[in-house]
Chain A
Amino acid sequence: MEEQDKPSGSFAMYTVGLAFALLLTGASFVVSQTDLLWAPGVPAGLAVLAIAQMGVHLVFFLHIGTGADNTNNVLALAFGVLVVTLVVAGSLWIMAHLNANMMPASAIMEMQR
């Protein structure tokens, strides 16, 4: 009972994906190690490059696309991205506020005396 062979990608697709990934990785190293970008903009630049590379991996290696049998995968991915964003951005936001509103350590010592 042989299943119908559905090509899950091709040699060209993997190779193009590898080329894009190498390019984006190289760009990340260059951006982080040189003064090519305005210094305060480097974290944002690195984040953009990382998200672009994750997109390349999803499309060229994991074959998440717009095909009819792919709708469920894309919906699940969208939900996953939502949860990841909430966890990471929410933690950073809350902890930054807690940190800003925290009493200095010396004041706490003073109160405990």
Chain B
Amino acid sequence: MIAAEELAKIFAGGVRAVDGVSLSIAEGETLGLVGESGCGKSTLARLLLRLIEPDAGAIRVRGSDFMALSGAALREARRDMGIVFQDPFGSLNPRMSVARLLAEPLAVHGIGGRAERKARVAELLDVVGLARQHADRYPHEFSGGQRQRIAIARALAAGPKFLVCDEPTSALDVSIQAQVLNLLSDLQTRFGLSMLFVSHNLGAVRQMAGRVAVMYLGRVVEEASRDDLFARPLHPYTSALLSAVPEPGVTTTRIVLKGDVPNPADPPSGCRFRTRCPRAAARCAAETPMLRDAGGGHRVACHFPGAL
């Protein structure tokens, strides 16, 4: 569906937010993207839709060059794409009724006439589990979970094939998070969506994604099928990250990392994780590890991969 090669984005001050990331998402597949604050996962999500323009790299959507498009052609291509943001309070215009919020993408893409758009709004409300009479209300009249449903309906309005979800449940309570995750799963199956599911919540990613990529300081350090990644992490950072998540009623041995994430404007030489890695050696400072297949499509960027 979508493939990116060597994507890079450098922000003011030389911050290498995304630094040479390649990934692809197949039709109907959900790729999970995990990492901690500042690792570049949200920037990467926006780069894929060109909501932020990459400084380098290529993006292909269904085989054709997405980077070459502009103006009307770019808008046309974006009809196949949608995005759901973290904050359902900030992402919906408070002055627009739900009906207008959901009809706006249809108008932008010139889809349908008045009556057809009205019918589509009703259909979208059904799809995300809201009542049709909600159409005349405004965002402030809804709870956080309902607002996120509106944001999802809006992202789906033009009938996209590729949906980016950027921390879609991070602002929600646990009981509401479960409702929204179930809804996204259902929609993914029902419409055969390709999905990029970005989250710092590893449990949510495991719930949603068939394949998972882990980012650290602007790079993908590991990528594998869900089961492989959670059961047999090969990168020391992934091991540490998985071990750090406390689960109710489960006692785990934690791998505690030393120090903080380095400044992304001045990342360490070689492997960017080496300053905190319990396994770092001289080679890690000298030579940047490339993402390599360790067997069965399990890719890892580490000179000394394996369980910690």
Chain A complexes with chain B: no
Chain B residues at the A interface, C-beta cutoff of 8 Å:
none
